[in-house]
């Protein structure tokens, strides 16, 4: 006996066997139980989600020898012939091969005759969107008022191409794409029934590659069994599917989180040796970044399909960086066809992430701090809090946002603090944290700083510790640094003072333009106005 493909062998024989389409199954079974099925039904959905299967089950329910039922017996001659695809009153028509009006007219003429064997004559028109416009027009009247012994079941993957006149005459059911977890469970059940050993990771790879289609998953399972020659292991399946690069994504994300450029480039080189599908990897990268963002903002919201390595990564990235990385990945996928080579486009996407540095709110940038300089190294410090804690950009518990009056201590001038920062050798985000602070008190063993409230996102425990270590190296003694957010009466920080000075320079420049005699003359003669924001002060003015 010839081999029967798994997709045919395991096609559902009862409504209860249909997976993932519960709302559609419920509506159809209720209609069949009352013998009140609409004469024209339209099934829409992507390939391999059950459109033809449901159509055959409906035909069985209409023609089962036990009567019209939602639970066909499966053993009578009508049920068996429908299962075998040889029931004379179930006419399956491929609209892609029979597109013309003459084909439809022949169908309409045959519909007038009574069923030969069954109770109803069922016409299943697959890929109905391929019919010509004239063919649709010829079918309209019969769809609206078919003979009482005729049922039409239309199926399409592209319902937008159907005329609205056809849609209005049909009862439409939209079959959804199946989630990977459901496909994985279905494939595992079939492998157990077939008595084939498998690794869970191998089935997971097949379920992902099925892309929402159970039929595609079964076809891939057939291919995997032939490829493996027996038991299914993850690595051979990844080799077959060309998806081995998915694991490499975690290695690259680890390098990105650590700010390790050498490890990132090395990982990209090793990945290139496997000749992966770079477009698919960028899609996978965007999906992983989205899950990382969810786990950062809502740590308790986890999905069954989440990889265990995602949660540790969520603790190592700043949430705002993940948002930008996601955008870079999506744009990299969009631009991939325009890259000189897919590998170059993929690697350039990672280099953009590595070079990324968030622009500071105040617009300040220290001497020599070009965009991207030390960007990830400044963010490489990692929080040691447990996975359930808040992301590492949240200030450490030792800090406070309560306005605390300064202790009795020797006053420190903010201008001196600005000069002191320049001698500490701080860089990156640690330097920006210090520049947004102003001293409010210093004792022999403690320096108290007040942080601008709008810059509280800069406060990370590792950055506070870096300032503390720099001061200890400068003074030669242990000096604890405590940072409080929004201390009343603390005055302007160096960054705040520079921002205020810029605002004042801007205001003076705009006033000078408004008071200029030539501008005044143009206003009087032509009624011109100075566009807000168009005036920029000269550097040093």
Concatenated DSSP letters of 407-430? PS-----HHHHHHHHHHHT--HHH
432, 515 Cβ separation under 8 angstroms: no
User: Residue 130 in contact with residue 99, Cβ under 8 Å?
Assistant: yes
Both tokens of 253, joined, read 């994300």
User: Does residue 254 share a domain with residue 237?
Assistant: no
DSSP labels for 302-340? --TT--TTHHHHHHHS-HHHHHHHHHHHHHHHHHGGGSS
294-315 burial string, b = 16+ CB within 10 Å, else e? Answer: bbbeebeeeeeeeeeebbebbb
- Pair 160, 235 in one domain: no
Find the CATH number of the domain harbouring 479. Answer: 3.30.300.150
Q: How far is CA 266 from CA 251, 512, 536, in A?
A: 10, 56, 45
Range of the domain at 226: 181-188+197-241
* H or E element, residue 233: none
Same structural domain for residues 11 and 54? yes
Q: Are residues 219 and 237 in the same domain?
A: yes
Q: How far is CA 499 from CA 8, 23, 194, in A?
A: 71, 60, 72
What pLDDT does residue 539 have?
Answer: 61
Instruction: Please state whether beta strands 446-451 and 437-442 pair in parallel, antiparallel, or not at all (unpaired).
Output: antiparallel
321 and 418 fall within a common domain: no
pLDDT at 286: 93
Domain boundary among 469, 491, 513: 491
The strands making up 437-442's β-sheet, listed across from edge to edge, are: 437-442, 446-451, 480-485
Q: Digits of tens for pLDDT over the chain (541 positions)?
A: 577 889 899 999 999 999 999 999 999 999 999 999 999 999 999 999 999 999 999 999 999 999 999 999 989 999 999 998 899 999 998 888 877 888 888 888 888 899 998 899 999 999 999 988 898 988 898 898 999 999 999 999 999 999 999 999 999 999 999 998 899 999 999 999 999 999 988 898 899 889 899 999 999 999 999 988 878 988 888 888 877 777 788 899 999 988 888 999 999 998 888 878 888 889 889 999 998 999 888 877 766 666 778 888 888 888 888 999 999 999 999 999 999 999 999 999 999 999 875 544 434 443 333 333 334 433 443 333 333 333 333 343 344 333 334 443 334 566 788 888 888 888 888 989 999 999 888 888 888 999 988 888 888 888 999 999 998 888 888 889 999 987 766 678 888 888 888 888 888 888 888 888 888 888 888 777 887 767 778 765 4
Q: Report the distance separating Cα 476 and Cα 488, nearest Å.
A: 31
Closest CA to 402 of 484, 492, 493, 480: 484
In a domain, 22, yes or no: yes
Sign of CA dihedral 50, 53, 54, 55: positive
* Residue at 98 is within a domain: yes
Distances, alpha carbon 183 to alpha carbons 187, 189, 203, in Å: 6, 10, 9
Radius of gyration of the chain (CA): 34
pLDDT in tens, 170-200: 999 999 999 988 999 999 999 999 999 999 8
**Structurally, how many domains does the chain consist of?**
4
171-174 β-sheet, strand order:
90-94, 121-126, 150-156, 40-44, 171-174
Does residue 291 fall inside a structural domain?
A: yes
Q: Which 8-state DSSP code applies to residue 15? A: G
541 belongs to a structural domain: no
Backbone φ and ψ of 61, nearest 5°? -65, -30
Instruction: State how far the Cα of 449 lies from the Cα of 4, in Å rounded to an integer.
Output: 76
Q: Is position 387 within any domain?
A: no
456 located within any domain: yes
Residues 17 and 166 in one domain: yes
**Given this model, what pLDDT does residue 384 score?**
38
67 and 148 both lie in a single domain:
yes
Tokens encoding 416: 């001196």
Same domain? 122 vs 163: yes
Q: Could you say which of 304, 337, 355 is where a domain stops?
A: 355
59 and 145: one domain? Answer: yes
CA pseudo-torsion sign 265, 270, 275, 278: negative
Residue 87 is predicted with a pLDDT of 93
Q: Are residues 259 and 235 part of one domain?
A: no
Let me know if 500 is exposed, middle or buried by CB neighbors in 10 A (0-12, 13-18, 19+).
exposed
Phi then psi for residue 479, to 5 deg, are -135, 110
Joined tokens for residue 86: 């040889």
161 and 23 housed in the same domain: yes
- CATH number of the domain encompassing residue 337: 1.20.272.10
Entry pTM: 0.60
Same-domain pairing of 253 and 343: yes
User: Which of residues 491, 507, 523 is at a domain's end?
Assistant: 491
């Amino acid at each position: 006996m010839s081999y029967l493909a798994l997709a045919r062998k395991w096609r559902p024989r009862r409504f209860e066997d249909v997976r993932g389409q519960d709302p559609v199954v419920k509506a159809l079974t209720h209609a069949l139980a009352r013998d009140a099925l609409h004469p024209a039904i339209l099934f829409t959905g992507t390939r391999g989600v059950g459109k033809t299967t449901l159509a055959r089950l409906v035909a069985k329910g209409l023609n089962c020898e036990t009567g019209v039922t939602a639970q066909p017996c499966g053993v009578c001659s009508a049920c068996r012939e429908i299962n075998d695809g040889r029931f004379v009153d179930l006419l399956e028509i491929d609209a892609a091969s029979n597109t013309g009006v003459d084909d439809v007219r022949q169908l309409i003429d045959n519909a007038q005759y009574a069923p030969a064997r069954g109770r109803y004559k069922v016409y299943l028109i697959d890929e109905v969107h391929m019919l010509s416009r004239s063919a649709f027009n010829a079918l309209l009247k019969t769809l609206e008022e078919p003979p009482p012994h005729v049922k039409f079941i239309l199926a399409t993957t592209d319902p937008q191409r159907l005329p609205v006149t056809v849609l209005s005459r049909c009862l439409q059911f939209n079959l959804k794409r199946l989630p990977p977890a459901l496909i994985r469970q279905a494939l595992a059940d079939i492998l157990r029934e077939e008595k084939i050993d498998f690794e869970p990771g191998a089935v997971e790879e097949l379920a992902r590659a099925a892309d929402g289609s159970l039929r595609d998953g079964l076809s891939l399972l057939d291919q995997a069994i032939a490829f493996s020659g027996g038991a299914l292991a993850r690595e051979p399946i990844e080799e077959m599917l060309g998806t081995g690069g998915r694991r490499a994504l975690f290695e690259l994300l680890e390098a990105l989180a650590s700010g390790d450029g050498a490890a990132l480039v090395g990982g990209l080189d090793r990945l290139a040796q496997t000749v992966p599908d770079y477009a698919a990897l960028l899609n996978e990268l965007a999906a992983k970044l989205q899950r990382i963002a969810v786990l950062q903002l809502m740590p308790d919201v986890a999905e069954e399909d989440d990889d265990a390595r995602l949660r540790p990564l969520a603790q190592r990235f700043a949430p705002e960086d993940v948002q930008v990385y996601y955008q870079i990945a999506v744009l990299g996928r969009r631009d991939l066809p325009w890259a000189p080579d897919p590998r170059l486009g993929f690697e350039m996407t990672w280099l953009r992430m590595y070079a990324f540095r968030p622009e500071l709110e105040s617009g300040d940038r220290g001497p020599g701090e070009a965009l991207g300089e030390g960007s990830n190294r400044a963010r490489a410090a990692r929080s040691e809090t447990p996975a359930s804690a808040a992301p590492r950009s949240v200030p450490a518990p030792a800090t406070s946002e309560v306005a605390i009056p300064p202790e009795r201590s020797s006053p420190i001038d903010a201008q001196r603090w600005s000069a002191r920062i320049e001698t500490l050798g701080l860089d990156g985000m640690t330097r920006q944290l210090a520049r947004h602070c102003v001293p409010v008190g210093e004792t022999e063993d403690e320096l108290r700083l007040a942080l601008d409230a709008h810059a509280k996102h800069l406060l990370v425990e590792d950055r506070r510790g870096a300032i503390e270590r720099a001061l200890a190296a400068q003074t030669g003694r242990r000096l604890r640094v405590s940072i409080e957010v929004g201390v009343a009466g603390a005055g302007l920080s160096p960054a705040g003072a520079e921002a205020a000075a810029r605002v004042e320079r801007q205001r003076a420049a705009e006033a000078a333009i408004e008071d200029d005699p030539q501008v005044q003359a143009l206003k009087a003669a032509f009624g011109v106005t100075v566009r807000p924001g168009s005036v920029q002060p000269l550097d040093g003015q």
